[in-house]
C-alpha cells in the first residue's frame, strides 16, 4: 500500500467517525430536544418573529 492509499483510508475513517461523533454529540447535548424553539434561535428581541428585514431601496 502506498502512502497515498493509507492517507485516504485514514481520511475516510476520520471523516465517517467525525460524522458519527457529531450526531452522537447533537443528541447527547440536547440539540434535538426542543425543535420549535430551535427554529427561533435566529430571532431576538431586536429582530423578533414577525419582523421582515429586507426591502427594495426606496427612492430618496
Partner 1 sequence: MKPQSLISSFNPANNPDTLASHERAEIDASTRFPVLLFFSSAIFWLLVGSLFGLISAWKMTHPALLDQMAWLTFGRLRPAHLNAVIYGWASAAGIGVGIWLMARLCRVPLLHSKLLISAAIFWNLGVLVGVLGILAGDSRSIEWLEFPGYATPILFVAYAFIGIWAIIMFRFRKPGHVYVSQWYLFAAFLWFPWLYATANILLIWQPIQGSAQGAVNWWFAHNVLGLWFTPIGLASAYYMIPKVIGRPIHSYYLSILGFWSLALFYSWNGMHHLIGGPFPAWMVSASVVASIMMFIPVVTVAINHHMTMRGHFGALKWSPTLRFTVFGAMTYTLVSLQGSSMAIPSLNTLTHFTDYTIGHAHLGLYGFFTMMMFGAMYYIVPRLTGWEWPSAQAIRWHFWLVAIGIILMVVSLSIGGVLQGLALYDPQVSFRNSLDYATPFRWLRGISGFFLLGGHLVFAGLFTAMLLKIGRPKDGPAYFTAPAKVEASPL
Chain residues in the site for partner 1 (CB under 8 A): 2-4, 7-8, 11, 15, 18-19, 23, 26, 31-32, 35-60
Q: How big is the CA angle at 42 (ends 41 and 46), to the nearest 5 degrees?
A: 105
- Give the shortest CB-51-to-partner 1 separation in angstroms: 4
Which of 37, 21, 40, 19 shows the shortest CA–CA distance to 29? 21
- Give the shortest CB-41-to-partner 1 separation in angstroms: 5
Question: How is residue 37 written as a grid cell?
Answer: 424553539
- Give the shortest CB-6-to-partner 1 separation in angstroms: 11
Amino acid at each position: 500500500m502506498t502512502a497515498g492509499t493509507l492517507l485516504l483510508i485514514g481520511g475516510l475513517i476520520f471523516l465517517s467517525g467525525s460524522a458519527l461523533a457529531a450526531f452522537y454529540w447533537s443528541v447527547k447535548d440536547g440539540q434535538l430536544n426542543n425543535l420549535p424553539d430551535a427554529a427561533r434561535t435566529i430571532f431576538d428581541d431586536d429582530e423578533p418573529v414577525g419582523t421582515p428585514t429586507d426591502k427594495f431601496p426606496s427612492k430618496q
